[in-house]
């Protein structure tokens, strides 16, 4: 993708997220996105087939950065030099979601929430720190991984409605309720 295409794509993302701050996904129209991004209809459809495709691409962009293998220092947080453990990984993810909450809340508020949550769960499954060394031997690890991923995703949904907790507190709550995580992932006392 050349610079002009990236700039156009970013303008569409910006227009879309600005609109999501004001109204739910279902109320946002492609015409509004086009007008706010100052692009033509054919330009929009060159980049995205539907509004749902735009949402999926936005989720992919958010999650590719959030779940990056090489975190960098950011304006609101710095996990670039911290040891990579589950607590740090989950807290880092939560910081990114908190930084994007102005439109993530709009996405989660209606039917688009399932698209977001599905993409989020898929990305969570790739977190290598989700170690299950203390998992009961008689329970399949893929079942436990699915349980953890779904539980954390729902924790995020709850948190977006109850913003009075920090990312560190939320990751601590989650880890305190997941007894089968390996000891190195357990919350500190």
Predicted confidence (pLDDT) per residue in 37-89, tens digit: 999 999 999 999 999 899 888 888 877 777 766 666 666 666 666 666 788 88
CA-nearest of 105, 155, 152, 98 to 126 is 152
Q: Would you give the DSSP letter of residue 151?
A: H
DSSP string, 111-127: THHHHHHHHHHHHHTT-
CA-nearest of 186, 86, 175, 180 to 135 is 180
Structural domains in the chain, CATH included, are 3-48 (1.10.10), 63-185 (1.10.357.10)
* Cα–Cα distance measured from residue 25 to residue 27, given in angstroms and rounded to the nearest whole number: 5
| Mean pLDDT per 10-residue interval, the chain, length 189 residues | 88 91 87 96 95 88 72 66 74 86 80 83 75 73 84 90 90 84 47
Residue 185, pLDDT score: 44
C-beta neighbour count of 37 within 10 angstroms? 22
Contact at 8 Å (CB) between 66 and 152?
A: no
Tokens of 17: 């997220």
Q: What's the gap between Cα 42 and its chain centre?
A: 29
Residue 128, pLDDT score: 63
Residue 161, pLDDT score: 86
Residue 79, pLDDT score: 65
**Looking only at Cα atoms, what is the longest distance across the chain?**
57
Residue 77, pLDDT score: 67
* Cα–Cα distance measured from residue 62 to residue 13, given in angstroms and rounded to the nearest whole number: 11
């Amino acid at each position: 993708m050349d610079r002009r295409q990236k700039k156009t794509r970013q303008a569409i993302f910006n227009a879309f997220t600005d609109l999501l701050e004001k109204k739910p996904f279902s109320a946002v129209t492609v015409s509004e996105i086009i007008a706010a991004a100052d692009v033509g209809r054919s330009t929009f459809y060159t980049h995205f087939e539907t509004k749902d495709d735009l949402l999926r691409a936005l989720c992919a962009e958010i999650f590719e950065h959030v779940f990056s293998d090489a975190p960098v220092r950011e304006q609101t947080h710095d996990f670039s030099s911290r040891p990579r453990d589950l607590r740090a990984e989950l807290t880092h993810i939560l910081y990114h979601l908190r930084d994007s909450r102005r439109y993530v809340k709009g996405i989660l508020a209606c039917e688009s929430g399932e698209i977001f949550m599905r993409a989020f769960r898929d990305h969570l499954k790739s977190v290598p720190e989700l170690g299950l060394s203390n998992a009961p031997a008689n329970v399949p690890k893929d079942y436990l991984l699915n349980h953890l991923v779904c539980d954390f995703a729902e924790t995020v949904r709850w948190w977006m409605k109850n913003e009075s907790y920090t990312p560190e507190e939320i990751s601590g709550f989650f880890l305190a309720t997941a007894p089968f995580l390996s000891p190195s992932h357990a919350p500190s006392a």
